[in-house]
Amino acid sequence: RCKNLSVSFWNSYWMLPSDVCGMNCFWEAAFRYHSMKAHPSEKMHLAVVACGERLEETVTMLRSAIIFSIKPLQFHIFAEDQLHESFKDILDDLPYEGKVNYTLYPITFPTESAAEWKKLFKPCASQRLFLPLILKNVDSLLYVDTDILFLRPVDDIWSFLGMFNSTQIAAMAPEHEEPRIGWYNRFARHPYYGVTGINSGVMLMNMTRIRRKYFKNDMTPVRLQWGEILMPLLKKYKLNITWGDQDLLNIMFFHNPESLYVFPCQWNYRPDHCIYGSNCKQAEEEGIFILHGNRGVYHDDKQPTFRAVYEAIKNYSFGDDLVHSLLQPLELELQKTMHTYCGRVYKVFIKQLRNSIRDLYARRSRG
């Protein structure tokens, strides 16, 4: 009787049909929360690199992480010096509810090659390659680009660390699901991982394993550690890489494929997954877990579905009702985008968001 009353309450509160908020998923969320509460673990570490005009985008990403996550978060924010004060002003004003700490770092590269690394791709993008060497006391880390939005708790992607086998040191998603539109398999002039390469915008790392590993390579028969292999790789492939540090990661995991755990595409959902027709089957079934608005789609009119999600999270005020202030207005905006390919599958953009909001309210109702 208690279970039925609970499900009925949430369905009526949200005005959602029972098949959307069913008994199984409701109690699964409650069980997950109580399991985490009963067995607390160390905080989750999230890193981002922000340069140029990426302040607002980075803060919006951090807000999306805060809204749904369960365990405490430690943000590692690498930013140009002129952005530090703005980050402090904004982050110190957010209602963390005691679950977030942050540290600001300067952009730093090896002294002898700093200029070369900084201009490799977008400003500061290659900073991510040096995180295992800079954050020496951090065991595991989730790195994300500034244009990431979490539609599901960070806890859920963090849990993949426990799924690594004994040889895996990092996890990323494929660059493409459909080889016919893949970039690496059609244009790359260097080795790359798998059939279509990997995308480094969402990268989960066991940094202790990364620091200990000796990597196979095509430069010497001697295996090299992380700090030893980066500069030789850059020197060898500098004239052949297009996407900078991501290309170097593809080369490394091409030679060490046993070291990579591959995420399904809904953990790094990008415009390429829908602009030519939907090609991320997992997102169609379960919704988008992490949205990646690369190519600036949050800030132009080319992909209004992506922009609508970004604007909804950016404008959400902490403490407001998530259903009436975020979910419902967003769904109305998404319905206006059905003239685009991504808009035709707009429901995948809110399917997991709806579940995440439901789970959050389920946790709050239990204290």
Can you give the residue ranges of every domain in the chain?
44-263, 266-365
The encoded tokens of residue 157 equal: 């992607």
- 44-263 placed in CATH 1.10.10.10: no
pTM above 0.85, yes or no: yes
To the nearest 10 degrees (0 to 180), the angle between helices 304-315 and 55-68 is 70
- pLDDT tens per residue, the chain (367 residues)? 333 333 333 333 343 433 334 434 433 443 343 333 333 457 999 999 999 999 999 999 999 999 999 999 999 999 999 999 999 999 999 888 678 999 999 999 886 777 788 777 676 888 999 999 999 999 999 999 999 999 999 999 999 999 999 999 999 999 999 888 889 999 999 999 999 999 999 999 999 999 999 999 999 999 999 999 999 999 999 889 988 899 999 999 999 999 999 999 999 999 999 999 999 999 999 999 999 999 999 999 999 999 999 999 999 999 999 999 999 999 999 999 999 999 999 999 999 999 999 999 999 888 7
Q: Which residue in this structure is represented by tokens 């000796």?
A: 214
Please check whether residue 6 is in contact with residue 21, taking contact to mean a CB–CB distance below 8 angstroms.
no
Give the three-state DSSP class for 215. strand
CA 54 to chain centre: 16
Distances (CA, A) of 340 to 247, 268, 300: 30, 20, 14
Distances (CA, A) of 188 to 242, 245, 325: 8, 14, 44
CA dihedral 231, 237, 238, 244 (to 10 degrees): -80
Q: Which residues contact 334 (CB under 8 A, 6 or more apart)?
A: 305, 308, 309, 343, 346, 349, 350
The encoded tokens of residue 190 equal: 């260097």
Strands 290-292 and 198-206, how do they pair?
unpaired
Distances (CA, A) of 54 to 26, 58, 85, 124, 296: 37, 6, 14, 11, 11
